[in-house]
Amino acid sequence: MGMKVRQPEGLAPLLSEENFEKLQGIMYIRHFEKGSCLFWEGDAANHLYYIMEGRVRTTKSADNGRTLTLYLHQQGDLIGQMDPFQDSVHNFSAEVTEDVKVGVIQRKDLEVLLWQNSDLAIEFMKWMGLMHRLTQTKFRDLIMFGKTGALCSLLIRLSNSYGTETEDGIFIDLKINNTELADMIGATRESVNRMLSELKKDGIISNQHGHMVIKDIAYLREVCHCENCPKQVCRM
């Protein structure tokens, strides 16, 4: 028997029930179809988006035309930028990969709410700190341990976000192709093909009906020098 899929916890667990209700009180609901964007890189950063249903991918464009996938967001996640600059713009794009229902929060409304509720402001700072730590660990993986280490770390993050324990290993309940994997670690599809082939040959991973199965996660942790970060940080 498999265990329930482990989902990212998102924003709600960081807030008290009362404060989460206050935050919901300033949201207005919008729906976006698959293939659309919540916002583009360079757009004014005057809204945040709380995902109620569906999935969103945030990406960053490079000068050479390549796109780096930063995060895979799903139900419970809050997307957007909060910084001290009033004329701030988004430095990434948010692409809808599965029809979404979002709660849109105007930045000015959020600032008033945080000013009026110091306990909410402290809890919101915890979310911001968690997002910064998540970003730092992703860049650590990309910079310090090479493409192989970054790929192994990515597979661990996928297992934490979309993994189900089975007799055969950890089943990744998200179909993802090698090009998408390459975009997440700044590598070429060919290099990812080669690295995955080696992992399959060594029995570390396998494929099952188009889904990836991790058979030896201890090996992946060794390659990427896993620091046993909390699951809220080691996620997509």
Residues 88-101 pLDDT 10s: 899 899 999 999 99
Domain C-terminal end among 84, 116, 148? 116
Output the pLDDT for position 98. Answer: 95
Same structural domain for residues 143 and 215?
Answer: yes
Same structural domain for residues 108 and 177?
Answer: no
CATH number for 212:
1.10.10.10
Q: CB-based contacts of 68: which residues, under 8 Å, 6+ apart?
A: 59, 60, 62, 183, 184, 186
Question: Which of 139-143, 174-178, 232-236 has the highest mean predicted lDDT (pLDDT)?
Answer: 174-178
Q: Specify the residue for token string 């409304």.
A: 109
Nearest to 164 by CA among 213, 210, 200: 213
Residue 218: other Cβ atoms inside 10 A: 8
Q: How far apart are CA 168 and CA 140, in angstroms?
A: 30
Range of the domain at 37: 17-116
Is residue 123 domain-resident? no
How many domains are contained in the chain?
2
Same structural domain for residues 180 and 214?
Answer: yes
**Residue 157 near residue 214, CB atoms below 8 Å:** no
Q: How far apart are CA 195 and CA 192, in angstroms?
A: 5
- Over residues 8-66, the pLDDT tens digits come to 468 888 899 999 999 999 999 999 999 999 999 999 999 999 999 999 999 998 777 77
Q: 3: exposed, middle or buried (C-beta count within 10 Å: 0-12, 13-18, 19+)?
A: exposed
Same structural domain for residues 142 and 220?
Answer: yes
Same structural domain for residues 139 and 175?
Answer: yes
3-state secondary structure of 236: coil
**Residue 71 near residue 57, CB atoms below 8 Å:** yes
Give the residue ranges of DSSP H helices in 28-117.
107-116
Q: pLDDT grade, residue 85 (50/70/90)? A: low
- Over residues 163-177, the pLDDT tens digits come to 999 998 999 999 899
For residue 183, CA distances in Å to 68, 89, 155 come to: 5, 23, 14
Residue 147: other Cβ atoms inside 10 A: 17
Is residue 203 domain-resident? yes
Output the pLDDT for position 9. Answer: 61
205 vs 63, residue with greater confidence: 205
Q: How far apart are CA 120 and CA 115, in angstroms?
A: 9
Is residue 126 domain-resident? no
Q: pLDDT grade, residue 81 (50/70/90)? A: confident
3-state secondary structure of 225: coil
Is residue 128 domain-resident? no
Domain C-terminal end among 83, 116, 149? 116
Is residue 173 domain-resident? yes
Same structural domain for residues 89 and 168?
Answer: no
Same structural domain for residues 189 and 145?
Answer: yes
Same structural domain for residues 98 and 26?
Answer: yes
Same structural domain for residues 142 and 108?
Answer: no
Same structural domain for residues 23 and 104?
Answer: yes
Q: How far apart are CA 94 and CA 60, in angstroms?
A: 9
